[in-house]
């Protein structure tokens, strides 16, 4: 089952590869400005579906089009991708030592029928109390600039997240909740060729406590 991934994110490409489903990567650019009063889940759903529909129009070759959008929300404020190192540093200061929500919406379109399916994953993410020097070094590295909230949970040289206190989906924080993707693909009649929770654990080193509940399986 060939999938068109309507995203330029290297993290989403990396995670999708763990499922065993082959993919064509076709980056999509859309206006990600939030509407007035738009909740994180609503914004993520709208943007993911917009990307998937644009991917369907622009790119051919795969039976399914997959898009995703990730929103970071803290204290009623939505954090997108920082414009520069200074904005990245400000975002990291806001997140330091507190928890925030990461919401990722998925949108899948079956090219044959143009049927649209979606799912949403939300994770509470506890951040450690990193130092000002760590913030400046990480911001200057350029790594935060293509990430919502200005950090990557997988960036082990910085390790911004207190993973020992995380109780949700790690892959969601990276940008593609794999078990939600499997659940949505099953609705279209497609089972993954590999054990996705095991592949995710092997890649991230995170002993996920929620995959069985998401997939309706015994842990």
CATH of the domain at 70: 3.90.950.10
User: What integer pLDDT is reported at residue 219 of this predicted model?
Assistant: 46
C-alpha closest to that of 100 among 80, 123, 132: 123
User: What integer pLDDT is reported at residue 84 of this predicted model?
Assistant: 97
The Cα–Cα gap between 198 and 147 comes to 25
User: What integer pLDDT is reported at residue 98 of this predicted model?
Assistant: 97
Active site members: 69
User: What integer pLDDT is reported at residue 218 of this predicted model?
Assistant: 55
* pLDDT tens by residue, 60-93: 668 899 999 999 999 989 998 999 999 999 999 9
71 DSSP β-pair partners: 103
210 DSSP β-pair partners: none
C-alpha closest to that of 92 among 173, 150, 152: 150
Q: Give the total number of structural domains in the chain.
A: 1
Domain ranges, residue 106? 3-215
**Rounded mean pLDDT for each run of 10 residues along the chain, 219 residues in total:** 92 97 92 92 97 86 91 94 96 98 97 92 98 97 95 94 97 98 95 97 96 83
């Amino acid at each position: 089952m060939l999938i068109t991934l309507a995203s330029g994110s290297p993290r989403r490409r990396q995670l999708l590869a763990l499922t065993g489903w082959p993919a064509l990567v076709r980056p999509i650019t859309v206006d990600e400005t939030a509407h007035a009063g738009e909740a994180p889940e609503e914004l993520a759903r709208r943007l993911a579906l917009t990307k998937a529909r644009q991917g369907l129009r622009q790119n051919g070759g795969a039976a399914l089009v997959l898009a995703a959008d990730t929103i970071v929300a803290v204290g009623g404020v939505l954090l997108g991708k920082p414009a520069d190192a200074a904005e990245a540093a400000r975002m990291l200061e806001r997140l330091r030592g507190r928890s925030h929500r990461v919401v990722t919406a998925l949108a899948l379109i079956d090219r044959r029928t143009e049927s649209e399916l979606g799912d949403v994953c939300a994770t509470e993410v506890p951040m450690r109390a990193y130092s000002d020097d760590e913030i400046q070094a990480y911001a200057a590295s350029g790594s935060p600039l293509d990430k919502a909230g200005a950090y990557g949970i997988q960036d082990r040289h910085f390790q911004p997240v207190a993973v020992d206190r995380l109780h949700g989906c790690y892959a969601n924080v990276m940008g593609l909740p794999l078990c939600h993707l499997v659940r949505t693909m099953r609705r279209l009649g497609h089972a993954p060729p590999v054990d996705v929770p095991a592949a995710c654990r092997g890649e991230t080193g995170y002993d996920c406590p929620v995959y069985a509940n998401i997939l309706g399986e015994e842990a």
